[in-house]
Amino acid sequence: MNTPVHYLDHAATTPMVPAALEAMTAHLANAGNPSSLHASGRQARRVVEESRETIAQALDCRPGEVVFTSGGTESNNLALKGLFWSRRAGDPGRRRILTTAIEHHAVLDPLDWLAASEGAEVELLPVDRSGRLDVEAFRATLERDPASVALVSVMWANNEVGTLQPIDEVVALAGPHGIPVHTDAVQALGSVPLDFAASGVDAMTITGHKVGGPFGAGALVVRRELDLVALAHGGGQERDIRSGTIDTPAIAGLAAAVELAVKHQDEHAAHVGALRDELVRRVVEVVPDAHLHGAPLEPRSLRLPGNAHLGFPGCEGDSLLMLLDARGIECSTGSACSAGVAQPSHVLLAMGCTDDAARHSLRFSFGHTSTEADVDAVVEAIGPVVERARAARRV
């Protein structure tokens, strides 16, 4: 008899919703290339442009501002490298890039490359113990020499601890200096309101597989007036800044998922938020020294509704993960793994956690398939699992 799987890793990826699956499969057998001029090509182009309009309406941007990519990593690379190269070409003195110490590696690693290979000066901005940007530190860093800043990149919501960032304050400080702001909104889409026009950001990264869409489909929403240098050169299919044959079926699935996620964002947030709150409350009852990382549960405006990042002193996060996995409960740790050696989470370290505390955490993340049964399974298993993980560590 198979152990039932309780999937609590929606922040990593979430199952496709039926609407996206239907939209994608409806076009898989069609042969038309959207760049071709014959009837099949025009039909494929119609699907792509209708999908672009759907996403633009959902995110309150202009259709021409939606640049389709293969996902979050490509969108971040295009925004960061493309903006840096463009800004430096206009003014060689603009070499500084300001970002937070808790960004996803899809932001930090491209910036490391720009620093090592292109002469960028990357400055990591501090966060407080909840994982929220220190706005005054940002202000001081920015105003030290604003004319040398090429761009700012601050994620909308942290992927590990779920803390929402003060994007409005970032834009308010950078805007008067004419400094473009990019935000990685991959985790925020579908969980909190996203309004590109009202936010004031210049570029925003989204991806499909976090909101019930397909893998390999995402977008960089970028203002038309903003110049970007292309990463790869070819047909120039997307505004001459992103080349490659357009994946019509995947884009159709992406648009369906984004539209649905935005339409049902309020009820989704209420549903996963209630499950998350119950999980945190009941886990702490079973394991009294367990504690929440990131922003507090209240007020809800500070944190993603479906994220519960919990620390379990005396444990190794990887051990907890595998013990839960053996019981049919799937979650993730707050750490990255390099060459088989667990590393403490750079996010938790930036938040002031000790090396040990940055290793003893689990992230439970809820999504559209989550139920009360998932919470019950974790609560039933967590006590014995923590005891076993602590005993293993003492040996």
CA-to-CA separations, 143 to 5, 17, 98, 280, 303, in angstroms, rounded: 51, 45, 12, 40, 28
Residue-by-residue DSSP string for 17-50: PHHHHHHHHTTTT----TT--SHHHHHHHHHHHH
The pLDDT confidence band at residue 2, using thresholds 50, 70 and 90, is low
The domain 18-263 having CATH identifier 3.40.640.10: the answer here is yes
User: pLDDT band at residue 1, thresholds of 50, 70 and 90?
Assistant: very low
78's tokens = 């295009």
Active site residues: 337
Average pLDDT value for residue range 244-273: 97
- What's the pLDDT score for residue 334? 63
Question: How distant, in Å, are the alpha carbons of 10, 304, 321, 343 from that of 359?
Answer: 21, 22, 12, 7
pLDDT(318) > 90: yes
pLDDT at residue 57 in the model: 98
- Give mean pLDDT, residues 99-107: 98
pLDDT band at 6 (very low <50, low <70, confident <90, very high): very high
Host H or E run for residue 52: helix 39-59
- Please report, for the chain, the start and end positions of each structural domain, with discontinuous segments joined by +: 18-263, 265-394
Predicted pLDDT at 133: 98
- C-alpha closest to that of 317 among 332, 338, 330, 327: 332
pLDDT in tens, 327-359: 999 999 964 444 345 689 999 999 999 998 999
At 393, the pLDDT band (50, 70, 90 cuts) reads confident
Domain 265-394 superfamily per CATH: Aspartate Aminotransferase, domain 1 (3.90.1150.10)
> Contact, 351 vs 129, CB < 8 A?
yes
Give the pLDDT mean for 3-26.
Answer: 94
Instruction: Give CA–CA dist 375/371, Å, rounded.
Output: 7
- pLDDT for 31: 86
User: Is pLDDT above 80 for 287?
Assistant: yes
pLDDT at 339: 36
So what's the pLDDT on residue 392?
86
Q: What pTM value is reported for the model?
A: 0.96
Q: Find tokens 């935005």 and name the residue.
A: 262
Lowest-pLDDT range of 130-134, 366-370, 390-394: 390-394
The pLDDT tens digits for 139-174 are 999 999 999 999 999 999 999 999 999 999 999 999
d(CA 334, CA 392): 20
pLDDT at 358: 92
